[in-house]
Amino acid sequence: MTDTQTASTVAPEAPAAAPAGAPTEAPGVVHGLYTEGDPIADTKAPQGPIESRWDKRKFEAALVNPANRRKLTVIIVGTGLAGGAAAATLGEAGYNVKSFCYQDSPRRAHSIAAQGGINAAKNYKEDGDSTFRLFYDTVKGGDYRSRESNVYRLAEVSANIIDQCVAQGVPFAREYGGLLDNRSFGGVQVSRTFYARGQTGQQLLIGAYQALERQIAAGTVEMFSRHEMLEVIVVDGKARGIIARDLVTGEVETHLADAVVLASGGYGNVFFLSTNAMGSNVTATWRAHRKGAHFANPCYTQIHPTCIPVAGEHQSKLTLMSESLRNDGRIWVPKNAADCEKDPREIPEEDRDYYLERIYPSFGNLVPRDIASRQAKNVCDEGRGVGPKVGDFRRGVYLDFTDALQRMSAEAVAEKYGNLLDMYQRITGENPYEVPMRIYPAVHYTMGGLWVDYDLQSSIPGLFVSGEANFSDHGANRLGASALMQGLADGYFVLPNTIRDYLAKGPFEKLDEAHPAVAEARSSVDARVQKLLSINGDRSVDSFHKELGNIMWEYCGMERSEEGLLKAIDLIRGLRDEFWRNVKVLGSADTLNQSLEKAGRVADFLELGELMCIDALHRRESCGGHFRAESQTEDGEALRHDDEYAYVAAWEWGGQDGAPVLHKENLVYEFVEMKQRSYK
């Protein structure tokens, strides 16, 4: 909650909420909750034929000769696929890299949890895939709310990623003849997903980790594990370093550089219950937002349809079951609510509703995640959910491998999905080879993030953002197996080619800790830490986080409405006010203190949650993962309004006592026709 402009204000009161139904301040401004600023544009994106734009930008970007690279320092926050790959690549190129992660090892980055696979337009199955088809599927899957140039670049470099990873020894699954195998994922009708059983993220991260460790040993990368970034240092309008806390000793450290890269992942844990690692947070990107970096499309969050359902009131983590299971598993619920308590094996075929196959015959169980999630919610809301009741509903649907086991044999199923099925059995105590699995949607990925241009540079010069921390490639919904693709594309191939255009202007003015801007950033962190420790209230940090998560899930989750979002904003503001009056943070600042770590992260989530609701409120359309109850077709599908909302919503921090400022970046489609999505 630190005011980023002055260190003296630590936790001021939240801005006063406009009463529900208050008149708008300007045309299109909803309930006076924000103001509208000047439009923005991506000035770095090349023009011309889309297939030549990336090559054109690489050629036009300035070069840095090898001798000058040794004089330049880059800070990279995060060691997942985007951050680890970028650190390894920039270190190999000869730059001085400082790499930061809050885990005890880069190998524990959350990329390790990705299971199902990574997309690439190799067309190994000769089933009609191509770079353009991957580009088209991704734009369509994002409900036409992403940039064409960025998405085509992602599809274009995807094939290079596979070659790179194979060279690193990543053990992708192979067919009998030795060629790399592929499988299908939701939202597409071809097989383009490369995989390593259900451990793809882990195997890819080990490959990036090995490359990173090689550069650490070579001395080009300095590793700072168990460090958390708490502030970005901005000098003369440029990002020049970070303030980080050593999570073991408690020491607050200043680190200076010529450029800063944030690769710190997404913000799904704002919902408390999610598939994200417990430590995943928004602090790095939110601190940058408060210093001037625009936050784009924060309401675009993804609900994953294939997760183990909530088991009770005291749960703090949800477990993802890979979307790859939808390749061979069939999703169904009983046709009759009276059958929901029966053993599924006793329900005859004619009494089962394979609802995805019924509603979407062309794609069936392979519809995109947002559609599969909403339909699961719909059948459960009808009273046809299965499994134990949580609250008033049974929140679960069946994912059934009976047909696959008859068609393929148990051994063949185990070869493709064995570790996933074993994990399910360990968690639930049920054998998925004998009893259909139960799944339900859960918060997973965030398509929103810091706004970046084609070079992955934020609105703060010198601050670059890669992977899930930026907004750039997925629009309003991410297709399965595209997260690993974007992380490695950004880290290995995009950022190293674009950041050099900025670094060619350096080396920049040397700084020390006495510089006023550096000292201000450090003092603001110290003041924030001391404020959190001094409140000494009655409520735990986790209780605030859980209450925030309940608000977000209820009113800004799978379905949003104007009434619900206005209520959520009021509730969040009240909760944030209570947090700064009544939170209890145990321990001290000068030692290992997980209570203090959580408190800082939850404070940022409380601010982010409000912006997410404001963004969802202003966007009076449904698109992808953002489903407004007031904007749907007659058959309940998302209804876009391209004449009003075909833009990126880039939000500027309005100051502690001010309203956020909306900047619109218009989306122009030259190569894909914008039309209503259909998977039927």
* CA distances, 544 to each of 100, 540, 580, 670 (Å): 28, 7, 11, 46
**What Cα–Cα distance (Å) separates residue 606 from each residue in 38, 294, 612, 660?**
27, 18, 10, 15
Q: Is the peptide bond preceding residue 507 cis, with omega within 30 degrees of 0?
A: yes
**Choosing from 369, 384, 500, 677, which is the catalytic residue?**
369
Cα–Cα distance measured from residue 188 to residue 473, given in angstroms and rounded to the nearest whole number:
17
Q: Which of 17, 42, 54 is nearest to 32 (CA)?
A: 17
* Residue 147 bears catalytic tag: no
CA dist list (Å): 568 to 29, 324, 547, 597:
18, 34, 11, 25
| Exposed e or buried b per residue across 477-491, where buried means at least 16 C-beta atoms within 10 angstroms of its C-beta | bbbbbbbbbbbbbbb
Spatial separation of the C-alpha atoms in residues 448 and 461, rounded to whole Å: 20
- Two tokens at 259? 């450029």
Q: How far apart are CA 108 and CA 101, in angstroms?
A: 9
Question: Which residues, listed in sequence order, are joined to residue 664 by a DSSP beta bridge?
Answer: 649
Contact 612, 298 (CB under 8 A): yes
> Strands (DSSP E) along 168-270, which ranges?
193-194, 221-224, 227-235, 238-246, 252-256, 259-262
Closest by CA position to 187, among listed 284, 116, 275: 116
Please list the alpha-helical segments (H only) found in 78-187: 81-93, 131-141, 148-168
Residue 575: is it exposed, middle or buried by C-beta count within 10 angstroms (0-12/13-18/19+)? Answer: middle
Residues paired with 449 in a beta bridge: 296
C-alpha span between 4 and 10 (Å, rounded):
9
Residue count of the chain, please give it.
Answer: 680
Residues 6+ apart with CB under 8 A from 634: none
DSSP 520: H
Looking at residue 493, the DSSP 8-state letter turns out to be I
Identify whether the C-beta of residue 114 lies closer than 8 Å to the C-beta of residue 201: yes
SS (H, E, C) 361-397: CCCHHHCCHHHHHHHHHHHHHHHHCCCCEECCEECCE
Nearest to 643 by CA among 46, 147, 28: 28
Beta-carbon contacts of residue 27 (< 8 Å; ≥ 6 apart): none
Query: For residues 616 and 612, what is the distance between their CA atoms, to the nearest angstrom?
Result: 6
Catalytic residues: 369
